[in-house]
C-alpha cells in the first residue's frame, strides 16, 4: 500500500485507522472519506472527502482522483442498528461493498473489506470455531457479511481482484463512541467505570464473545494488506481474535484498578439474541500461519490502557473514580 482511500473514516475503526495509516504512509497518502465531516483528527489531519459509498460513480472518482492503489472499505451499518433497519443495512453494506469491488476491479487496486464473527450464525461450533465452517447467520448484519465474503471471493476468482479481509470480533476503542454494535457494552463498561464506578450491562452473565483491542485490529489490517500474496491460501475473511470474555471477566479486570467497580445487568433481548447466535471463541490459527497474526493486547493490558487513556481524555467533571 502506498496511496489509500479509506471509507467510513469517522466510524469506530476508521477514526483510529486514518490516524495510524497517515503515521505509516504519510498524511497526503491517505484520503479519508465519510458521509459527514467533523472536527476529529481523522477528518482534519489529512486529505478528506465527503463520499456516499452507495454512489458508484462518486466512489470511482474519489479513488481515481487520489490515485489510490488500495481501498480500505469500512463504511457499514453495525449489528444492532442493522437489525433495526434491515433494508437500509443491506443497501449500505452490500451496495457499498459492490461499488468498492467494482472500483477496485476498474483501477487495479487492492481492497480490504472486513467481515465479522456475525457471519457464522448459531449453527457454527461455538468453541474453537474453525476458519472453514457453516456460515448461516441469523441477522441482517451477519447475512451481509457472509454474502460479502462470497462476493469478494467471486471477484478474486473471476477478475483477479486482490480482495483481502478479516472476520473481526468485538472491537474495544477509546477514540470513537460505540456505533450500534452488539459488543459495544465492553467500551461502555470502561467509560462508566471512570465516570461513575458502575455499569449496567445489556448482555447477560456468562455470554462469552471474542474481543480485540483496536491497536491490534489496525495492525492486523496493515499486516494482512502488506503480506506476500503467495502465502495466502484464503486472502479473504481470516478469523482473528485476542481474547474471549464475558461482562464479568471485564469487570474483574477493571477491579484490579478500580476495586469498587459495580456491574449490574438489565438484558436487552435484541442484543442478547444476537450475541447468543455468535461463537464463544474462534480459532485464528490460519491467520497466524499464513501471515503471522499475533495480537499484542490481552484483557488486562487492554483494560490498563483503556482506563489510563480515558482517565486522561475525560474532563475532570466527568470523573467519578480514582485509578490505582
Q: Clarify whether 141 is annotated catalytic.
A: yes
Residue that is written with C-alpha cell 472527502 in the block: 49
Average pLDDT of span 16-30: 97
Side by side, which strands form the sheet with 70-73?
A: 48-50, 30-34, 4-7, 70-73, 110-112, 162-164
Q: What is the CATH number of domain 171-211+242-281+296-318?
A: 3.90.25
Superfamily of segment(s) 4-170+213-239? NAD(P)-binding Rossmann-like Domain (3.40.50.720)
Quote the CA–CA distance of 25 and 3 in Å, as a whole number: 8
- Within 13 A of 135's CA, how many CA atoms are on the CB side? 21
Q: Is the pLDDT of residue 271 over 70?
A: yes
Query: What residue segments make up the domains of the chain, in order of their start?
Result: 4-170+213-239, 171-211+242-281+296-318
Q: Do domains 4-170+213-239 and 171-211+242-281+296-318 have the same CATH topology?
A: no
pLDDT digits (tens, 9 = 90+) for 134-163: 899 999 999 999 999 999 999 999 999 999
Average pLDDT across the chain, whole number: 94
324 — pLDDT class (breaks 50, 70, 90): confident
Looking at 141, 199, 238, 297, which residue is catalytic?
A: 141
Amino acid at each position: 500500500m502506498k496511496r489509500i482511500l479509506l471509507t467510513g473514516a469517522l466510524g469506530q475503526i476508521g477514526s483510529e485507522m486514518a490516524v495510524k495509516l497517515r503515521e505509516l504512509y504519510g498524511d497526503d497518502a491517505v484520503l479519508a472519506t465519510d458521509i459527514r465531516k467533523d472536527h476529529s483528527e481523522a477528518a482534519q489531519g489529512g486529505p478528506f472527502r465527503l463520499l456516499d459509498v452507495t454512489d458508484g460513480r462518486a466512489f470511482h472518482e474519489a479513488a481515481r482522483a487520489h490515485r489510490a492503489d488500495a481501498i480500505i472499505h469500512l463504511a457499514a451499518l453495525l449489528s444492532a442498528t442493522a437489525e433495526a433497519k434491515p433494508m437500509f443495512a443491506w443497501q449500505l453494506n452490500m451496495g457499498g461493498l459492490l461499488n468498492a469491488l467494482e472500483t477496485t476491479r476498474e483501477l487495479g487496486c487492492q481492497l480490504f473489506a472486513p467481515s465479522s464473527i456475525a457471519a457464522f450464525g448459531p449453527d457454527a461450533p461455538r468453541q474453537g470455531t474453525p476458519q472453514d465452517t457453516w456460515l448461516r447467520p441469523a441477522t441482517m448484519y451477519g447475512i451481509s457479511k457472509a454474502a460479502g465474503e462470497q462476493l469478494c471471493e467471486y471477484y478474486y476468482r473471476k477478475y483477479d481482484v486482490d480482495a483481502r479481509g478479516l472476520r473481526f470480533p468485538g472491537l474495544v476503542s477509546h477514540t470513537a463512541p460505540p456505533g450500534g454494535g452488539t459488543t459495544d457494552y465492553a467500551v461502555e463498561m470502561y467509560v462508566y467505570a471512570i465516570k461513575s464506578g458502575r455499569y449496567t450491562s445489556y448482555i447477560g452473565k456468562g455470554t462469552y464473545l471474542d474481543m480485540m483491542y483496536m491497536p491490534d485490529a489496525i495492525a492486523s489490517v496493515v499486516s494482512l494488506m502488506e503480506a506476500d500474496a503467495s502465502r495466502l491460501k484464503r486472502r479473504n475473511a481470516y478469523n482473528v481474535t485476542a481474547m474471549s470474555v464475558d461482562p464479568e471477566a471485564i469487570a474483574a479486570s477493571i477491579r484490579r484498578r478500580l476495586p469498587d467497580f459495580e456491574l449490574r445487568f438489565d438484558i436487552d433481548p435484541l442484543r442478547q439474541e444476537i450475541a447468543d447466535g455468535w461463537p464463544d471463541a474462534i480459532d485464528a490459527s490460519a491467520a497466524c500461519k499464513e501471515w503471522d497474526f499475533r495480537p499484542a493486547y490481552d484483557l488486562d493490558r487492554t483494560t490498563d490502557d483503556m482506563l489510563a487513556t480515558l482517565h486522561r481524555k475525560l474532563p475532570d467533571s466527568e470523573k467519578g473514580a480514582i485509578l490505582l
